[in-house]
Amino acid sequence: MNKKWLAFSIILAFAGTSSLLHAEGNSDEGKEKSASCVSCHGEHGNSMVSTFPKLAQQHASYLTKQLHAFKDGTRKDPMMSSLATTLSDADMEDIAAYYEQQKVSINTQPKLSDDEDDDSQSPAKSEDALKAMLSQGADLYRNGDLTREVSACIACHGPLGEGNQPAAFPSLNAQHADYLIKALTDFKLGKRSNNPENMMHMIAKKMTDEEIKAVAYRISMMHNQ
């Protein structure tokens, strides 16, 4: 299983290099064209709302791919789908070039969400629960789970969550945990399946909701600055 993924990633990595030969977007044009994105994705692509993904520092190859997917309907979202139909190929490349050059903002230490914020718990205890969750997430990210064939995220998304530009494996680090949880749950349920061989579905379907949450919080704290 792992070997298959590895071989597949290598093929993708080589296939992806051809896209380097294509014209690159113009980031100055992209800045202007991204004016309509600011209300949701924030200044410089650092959104303030945790369910709107940050786009700052994301690989242009991945951004362009997702915008095409929203436009052709292979990825669906009530907010993005119609917006993407207004963008030309050149718009997408320019906007993607602009966001790739922005710096992603670092998240503050997460708080466990309300359902776990039991008032009877002492602050120290919830601090321990948070630590335990982050270390479970770190372990899954680095090692996966061999017995259940959950692939290690690090293999494709990199040691610092920086992703892989030529292969269009997205950067994940410093993304909002809430968005990551939503993305992984969409992959798990098959709601998002525009990726080659449905690879994220194959991985996420084997993860429990608890693991999804743990790895999402862990990734939200990673950064490569």
Of 25 and 53, CB closest to ligand HEC: 53
Q: Please, what is the minimum distance in Å from the beta carbon of residue 39 to ligand HEC?
A: 5
CA-to-CA separations, 174 to 108, 151, 159, 202, 224, in angstroms, rounded: 9, 21, 13, 24, 9
Structural tokens at position 58 = 């994301």
Q: In this chain, which of 150, 174, 177, 222 binds ligand HEC, going by CB under 6 A?
A: 150
Q: Does 184 bind ligand HEC (CB under 6 A)?
A: yes
Cα–chain center distance at 210: 18
Structural tokens at position 1 = 């299983």
Q: How far apart are CA 163 and CA 175, in angstroms?
A: 12
Q: How far apart are CA 215 and CA 221, in angstroms?
A: 10
Q: Does 202 bind ligand HEC (CB under 6 A)?
A: no
Residue pair 60/93 in contact (Cβ under 8 Å)? The answer is: yes
Q: In this chain, which of 27, 44, 46, 80 binds ligand HEC, going by CB under 6 A?
A: 80
Of 68 and 112, CB closest to ligand HEC: 68
Q: Does 29 bind ligand HEC (CB under 6 A)?
A: no
Q: Does 52 bind ligand HEC (CB under 6 A)?
A: yes
Q: How far apart are CA 168 and CA 68, in angstroms?
A: 13
Q: In this chain, which of 94, 102, 105, 169 binds ligand HEC, going by CB under 6 A?
A: 169
Q: In this chain, which of 195, 220, 221, 222 binds ligand HEC, going by CB under 6 A?
A: 195
Q: Please, what is the minimum distance in Å from the beta carbon of residue 47 to ligand HEC?
A: 8
Structural tokens at position 36 = 């309509």
Of 83 and 129, CB closest to ligand HEC: 83
Q: Does 40 bind ligand HEC (CB under 6 A)?
A: yes
CA-to-CA separations, 210 to 84, 133, 140, 189, in angstroms, rounded: 33, 9, 11, 15
Q: Does 181 bind ligand HEC (CB under 6 A)?
A: no
Q: How far apart are CA 111 and CA 217, in angstroms?
A: 10
Structural tokens at position 223 = 């950064």
Task: Using CB under 6 A, list all residues that contact ligand HEC.
Answer: 5, 9, 34, 36-37, 39-41, 52-53, 55, 63, 65-67, 77, 79-80, 83, 95, 140, 150-151, 153, 155-157, 169-170, 172, 180, 182-184, 194-195, 199-200, 203, 215
